[in-house]
């Protein structure tokens, strides 16, 4: 019986050590949250949406196309992040998903209100710039503790949005395609290549 005495202590330490390893690995992988393939899928659908939107005769139908695209992106993002969370055995709602929702919701709400105001004020061509700019701010704040590619993408969105605000009204569709299509595809690819998935 005497020889068994240290076993409980060792056993507790073993569990503690395994927990420590798992926690350290979790902390060391902040990027697991965002799915590169998901980003690429969002970029691809956004490119399609920008082509369809550019052909719309009225501003109202243009908005509806982008609202639909926004909804599709939300579904893709939710699904792909959930898959990635499952693969790394973390919960979507405790980690990356929560962070994404909390950082993106405020700029999205602000964007919705500004869209109404700008449409009523008769300057709808300013809307894409505002969207890109606000989406960029959300991505930067949400990606603050993520891999560098995420805040870098946010910054690119902000720069593109700023340029869009001060350029020709007829170029808006190009900015939408370059931002929500191009930047998502590009950074999605970087995330897949560098950070796996």
Contacting positions for another protein (CB under 8 A): 4-11, 14-15, 17-18, 20-22, 24-29, 194
DSSP state of 146: S
Choice between 22 and 60, CB closer to another protein: 22
Choice between 14 and 123, CB closer to another protein: 14
Enumerate helices (H) and strands (E) in the chain, giving the number of each.
8, 0
Q: Please name the residue that has the structure tokens 């998502």.
A: 184
CB of 195 to another protein, least distance (A): 8
Choice between 86 and 194, CB closer to another protein: 194
Number of other residues whose CB lies within 10 A of the CB of residue 165 = 16
Residues 6+ apart with CB under 8 A from 135: 104, 107, 108, 111, 154, 157, 161, 179, 180
CB of 29 to another protein, least distance (A): 5
Cα separation values, 1 from 4, 8, 10, 12, Å? 5, 12, 16, 18
Choice between 96 and 172, CB closer to another protein: 96
CB of 98 to another protein, least distance (A): 20
CB of 151 to another protein, least distance (A): 15
CB of 163 to another protein, least distance (A): 27
Choice between 23 and 55, CB closer to another protein: 23
Strand ranges in the chain using DSSP code E only, listed in sequence order: none
Structural contact between residues 190 and 146, judged by C-beta atoms closer than 8 angstroms = no
Number of other residues whose CB lies within 10 A of the CB of residue 99 = 19
């Amino acid at each position: 019986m005497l020889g068994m005495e240290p076993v409980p202590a060792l056993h507790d330490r073993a569990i503690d050590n395994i927990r420590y390893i798992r926690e350290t690995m979790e902390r060391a992988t902040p990027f697991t949250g965002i799915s590169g393939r998901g980003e690429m899928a969002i970029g691809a659908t956004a490119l399609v949406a920008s082509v369809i939107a550019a052909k719309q005769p009225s501003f109202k139908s243009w908005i509806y196309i982008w609202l639909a695209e926004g909804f599709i992106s939300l579904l893709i993002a939710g699904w792909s992040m959930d898959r990635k969370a499952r693969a790394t055995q973390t919960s979507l709602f405790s980690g990356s998903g929560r962070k994404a929702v909390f950082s993106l919701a405020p700029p999205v709400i602000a964007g919705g209100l500004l869209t109404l105001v700008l449409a009523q004020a008769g300057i709808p061509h300013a809307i894409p710039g505002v969207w890109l700019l606000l989406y960029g701010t959300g991505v930067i704040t949400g990606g603050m503790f993520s891999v560098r590619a995420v805040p870098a993408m946010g910054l690119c969105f902000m720069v593109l949005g700023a340029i869009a605000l001060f350029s020709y009204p007829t170029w808006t569709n190009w900015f939408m395609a370059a931002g929500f299509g191009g930047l998502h595809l590009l950074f999605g690819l970087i995330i897949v290549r560098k950070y796996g998935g």
